[in-house]
Amino acid sequence: MEYIETLGISAKNAAPILADCGTNIKNRALSEIAKRLRESVDGIIAANRLDIENAKKSGMAAAMVDRLTLDVKRIAGIAEGVEQIVSLPDPIGEVIGGGELPSGLRVVQKRVPMGVIGIIFESRPNVTVDAAALCFKAGSAVILRGGSDAINSNKFLVSLMRGALAECGVPEDCIQLVEDTSRDTATAMMRLNRYIDLLIPRGSGRLIRSVIENATVPVIQTGEGNCHVYIDESADIEMAVDIVDNAKTQRPSVCNAIESILVHESIANEFFTKLNERWHGKVAVVGDEKTAENIEVEKLADDNDYATEFLDYRLSSKVVKSVDEAIEHINRFGTGHSECIVTKSLENAQKFQRRVDAAAVYVNASTRFTDGFEFGLGAEIGISTQKLHARGPMGLKALTSYKYLIDGNGQIRE
Amino acid sequence: MEYIETLGISAKNAAPILADCGTNIKNRALSEIAKRLRESVDGIIAANRLDIENAKKSGMAAAMVDRLTLDVKRIAGIAEGVEQIVSLPDPIGEVIGGGELPSGLRVVQKRVPMGVIGIIFESRPNVTVDAAALCFKAGSAVILRGGSDAINSNKFLVSLMRGALAECGVPEDCIQLVEDTSRDTATAMMRLNRYIDLLIPRGSGRLIRSVIENATVPVIQTGEGNCHVYIDESADIEMAVDIVDNAKTQRPSVCNAIESILVHESIANEFFTKLNERWHGKVAVVGDEKTAENIEVEKLADDNDYATEFLDYRLSSKVVKSVDEAIEHINRFGTGHSECIVTKSLENAQKFQRRVDAAAVYVNASTRFTDGFEFGLGAEIGISTQKLHARGPMGLKALTSYKYLIDGNGQIRE
């Protein structure tokens, strides 16, 4: 597809120039972006209003319209986010290995930019600036392909950012937007491995699966979170209720919120009684028969329910006979994001952490902590649920590669 | 495809048991493999003879038959390779990050096995044992899919390794062979992302491109090496000839051998004269017109030649006006493997190392050093030419992932 290829070539040409920019130039450009965001609140809101009007006309649900909406406070938040990225240490150029080889060759393993990063994401226009700023600080050109719902907001924001780059003498094509939001452009982008070094899909499970199915560009899967809390036989029941409540209801729409609980049969009655006292039906429960004996269920759960990321005030539940059954269930239905055991047993805690195959495995704490800021990485581009390259919260370093620089004085191999 | 899915399920079941094995058990099993290799020389050679007979019947080229052939010395070499892997430090369990978060959560970032690794490779049966032993030491179950040419050798070797695992109480399914070598099994394996965590193709550019095109499993590209030496204006000509000669002719069939030279116009005559004195036609040259003015060329080079990995006593050549033109040519035609500049200019050396986009960028040394042993990694599973996860020689660590283990005492997120 010629249109996408043109973007790819422009990005590939901009990338080495950006790679050569020092930290000061990159930070100056990012600060200029933040300044322009603050100065352009009216323009951003006007562009965003077009998207909101279209969304309302097309009958978009109120919660989705809310995610799409930019206001003065949210724009200030986006600008602050960019300023935080300015304050993060620059990962590029860090020496991460090396030494002198027996042949006398001197090797330096140095962190370098990825090159060109593609981001395919859905509605939220704040992602547009977040993702662009993170890729830019990590020294890579970015091609952004947001959803059609936010196209007017995205066009305005990307144009604003490109203006800031130009002002600072950096190629505008370090940040590009795919303005044609047909499905074809997304597919073409997934297959542009000649020009794109890394593709990160951010959004629904359906989007992510489509990318995995179609991409020839290396992909990092992010953000699908079918997360569990297992309440062990020996759990502190009050703590278990606190953690389940926090992990489910503090912000149900995010990927590190839980979708499922597994309850040891010996404490099921006590746990569900206390959970019921806490929630009084605030969260709908989809559970197995033994759950239904202890708490009101919306329906009996099937495998499909156990595999579902509700992202809502809804939870699946199963009563299990042992920590082993819980681990097996999690490894079958989990998405490798964040998993938790509430227990007083050291043996079960260790077994759970060792055997559960996920990016973050918690003992006695809410899964909601899986987050770049909480983990001290600063901003994050997403939470990887795969095992290659990066796992869990991905900060700036996860957007870099490395290369070996080798200096000799004529060494040849014997 | 049911057959491949069955292998996937068996590997997925074996992987957590292997992940729980300590270093001692893994080393004992590897030592047992080495011992059995040494004891079974006759059996291995008999199985290998079947492959050689079939290959000869089908008219395989002598060089390929040689790559397929196992003899007493080569089998001893394979056993030694396994013993070297025993002596390498175990990467699993290494703490690579972590600390205490403001919330009081204690985080440990720990290196863990990848899970299940798939290797798709071509004829050489030594790869079968090398790859299996490396994956095993890195704690991952492996599914090996070798070429049909080596199927009898591979069946014997895999059966031998599985016997050694069983003897040591480790699940045999940690090492499995795809015995059906039809194209369908390779394709099915590329799409088995439910059970395979990482796929590494080892072989020709065609194989690698087919994997990239078809895989839904995360892939690491390895071993395609269209490597260059650029001889700068200020080069020490003797050194340049030594390096070009070594990098081209010491072992032309390997990926870190060079395929192309770029020669600064101001020293072209002197360089080619000395190169000719060294080679006397030993290497066929495919070059541009300015090359042809200085040395005999087999034909004039086109873009296709500049993109070709000859893996033979053949070399493409171009006379360039500047280091910038050389860098541009390399970034266009190179495969991101190993690149070299011969120069006395610090400025050009630095520019070349900064701008050339490859895993290993050399100043005044042969590209033949890009190798796991030379780089001090011990054995290698391949040389990555992509930027995600691992770049350059891949040792045991490149076959691992990590996870975050988080311990709390009831922390919830505010």
Mean local confidence (pLDDT), B61-90: 94
Query: Are the C-beta atoms of B399 and B220 separated by less than 8 Å?
Result: no
Chain B residues within an 8 Å CB radius of A410: 236, 239, 242-243, 364-365
> What number is the ipTM of this complex?
0.94
Chain A residues within an 8 Å CB radius of B353: 405
The reply to whether residue B16 touches residue A198, judged by beta carbons under 8 angstroms, is no
Chain A contact present for B277, CB below 8 A: no
Which of A194, A196, A413 would you mutate first to test chain B, the one with the most B CBs within 10 A? A413
Task: Report the range of poorest mean pLDDT among A278-292, A315-329, B18-32, B52-66.
Answer: B52-66
Residue B135 is classified by DSSP as: H
Kindly tell me if the per-residue pLDDT of A64 is higher than 90. no
Which residues face B144 on adjacent strands? B119, B177
Nearest Cα of chain A lies from the Cα of B155 at a distance, in angstroms, of 30
* Helix (H) or strand (E) run with residue A277 in it: helix A268-279
Chain B contact present for A23, CB below 8 A: no
Kindly tell me if the per-residue pLDDT of B264 is higher than 80. yes
Chain B contact present for A361, CB below 8 A: yes
Kindly tell me if the per-residue pLDDT of A44 is higher than 90. yes
Residue A1: band (very low, low, confident or very high) from pLDDT cuts 50, 70, 90:
confident
**CA A369, CA B103: separation in Å to the nearest integer?**
9
pLDDT tens-place string over residues B167-210: 999 999 999 999 999 989 999 999 999 999 999 998 888 888 89
Chain B contact present for A59, CB below 8 A: no
> Cβ neighbours of residue B58 under 8 Å, at least 6 residues apart?
none
Chain A residues within an 8 Å CB radius of B392: 403-404
Whose structure tokens read 């991952």? B140
Q: CB-CB: which of A193, A242, A413 is closest to B368?
A: A413
Could you give phi then psi for residue B180, rounded to 5 degrees? -90, 105
The reply to whether residue A388 touches residue B218, judged by beta carbons under 8 angstroms, is yes
The residue in chain A having the minimum alpha-carbon distance to the alpha carbon of residue B402 is A391
Could you give phi then psi for residue B185, rounded to 5 degrees? -70, -35
Could you give phi then psi for residue B380, rounded to 5 degrees? -130, 150
Mean local confidence (pLDDT), A71-86: 96
Whose structure tokens read 């600063």? A378
Kindly tell me if the per-residue pLDDT of A223 is higher than 90. no
Could you give phi then psi for residue A91, rounded to 5 degrees? -75, -20
**CA B182, CA A152: separation in Å to the nearest integer?**
51
Nearest Cα of chain A lies from the Cα of B405 at a distance, in angstroms, of 5
Nearest Cα of chain B lies from the Cα of A399 at a distance, in angstroms, of 9
Which residue intervals of A40-94 are DSSP H helices? Answer: 41-57, 62-68, 72-87
The reply to whether residue A408 touches residue B364, judged by beta carbons under 8 angstroms, is yes
**CA A222, CA A390: separation in Å to the nearest integer?**
10
- Residue at B344: amino acid letter: K
Residue A170: band (very low, low, confident or very high) from pLDDT cuts 50, 70, 90:
very high
**CA B269, CA B265: separation in Å to the nearest integer?**
8
**CA A147, CA A168: separation in Å to the nearest integer?**
29
Q: CB-CB: which of A245, A369, A412 is closest to B246?
A: A412
The reply to whether residue A413 touches residue B374, judged by beta carbons under 8 angstroms, is yes
Mean local confidence (pLDDT), B272-292: 97
Chain A contact present for B363, CB below 8 A: yes
The reply to whether residue B388 touches residue A388, judged by beta carbons under 8 angstroms, is yes
Using DSSP's 3-state secondary structure scheme, residue A244 falls into helix
**pLDDT at site B92:** 98
**CA B188, CA B169: separation in Å to the nearest integer?**
30
Chain A contact present for B351, CB below 8 A: no
Residue A62: band (very low, low, confident or very high) from pLDDT cuts 50, 70, 90:
confident
Nearest Cα of chain A lies from the Cα of B192 at a distance, in angstroms, of 11
Using DSSP's 3-state secondary structure scheme, residue B142 falls into strand
Chain A residues within an 8 Å CB radius of B107: 375
Nearest Cα of chain A lies from the Cα of B346 at a distance, in angstroms, of 11
**pLDDT at site B67:** 87
Chain A contact present for B361, CB below 8 A: yes
pLDDT tens-place string over residues A121-139: 987 898 999 999 999 999 9
Residue A13 is classified by DSSP as: H
Chain A contact present for B216, CB below 8 A: yes
- In degrees, rounded to 5, the angle at the alpha carbon of residue A33 between the alpha carbons of residues A32 and A35 is 60
**pLDDT at site A248:** 97
For the whole model, what pTM was predicted?
0.94
Kindly tell me if the per-residue pLDDT of A379 is higher than 90. no
Chain A contact present for B355, CB below 8 A: yes
- What would you report as the CA-atom Rg of chain B, rounded to the nearest whole angstrom? 24
The reply to whether residue B197 touches residue A388, judged by beta carbons under 8 angstroms, is yes
Nearest Cα of chain B lies from the Cα of A326 at a distance, in angstroms, of 15
Nearest Cα of chain B lies from the Cα of A239 at a distance, in angstroms, of 6
Nearest Cα of chain B lies from the Cα of A354 at a distance, in angstroms, of 8
The reply to whether residue B212 touches residue A213, judged by beta carbons under 8 angstroms, is no
The reply to whether residue A376 touches residue B99, judged by beta carbons under 8 angstroms, is yes
Closest CA to A164 of A129, A195, A131: A129
The reply to whether residue B369 touches residue A101, judged by beta carbons under 8 angstroms, is yes
**pLDDT at site B203:** 82
Kindly tell me if the per-residue pLDDT of A232 is higher than 80. yes
Using DSSP's 3-state secondary structure scheme, residue B287 falls into strand
**pLDDT at site B64:** 86
> What is the interface size between A and B, counted as CB pairs within 8 Å?
198
Kindly tell me if the per-residue pLDDT of A391 is higher than 90. yes
pLDDT tens-place string over residues B355-377: 999 999 999 999 999 999 899 88
The reply to whether residue A412 touches residue B365, judged by beta carbons under 8 angstroms, is yes
Chain B residues within an 8 Å CB radius of A386: 197, 218
The reply to whether residue A413 touches residue B360, judged by beta carbons under 8 angstroms, is no
Segment 230-259 of chain B within 8 Å of chain A by CB: 236, 239, 242-243, 245-247, 250
The reply to whether residue B408 touches residue A365, judged by beta carbons under 8 angstroms, is yes
Chain A residues within an 8 Å CB radius of B350: none
Chain B contact present for A189, CB below 8 A: no
Give CA separation, A54 vs A50, A59, A67, A210, B349, in Å. 6, 9, 14, 26, 55
What is the per-residue burial (b if ≥16 Cβ within 10 Å, else e) of B121-130?
Answer: bbbbbbbbbb
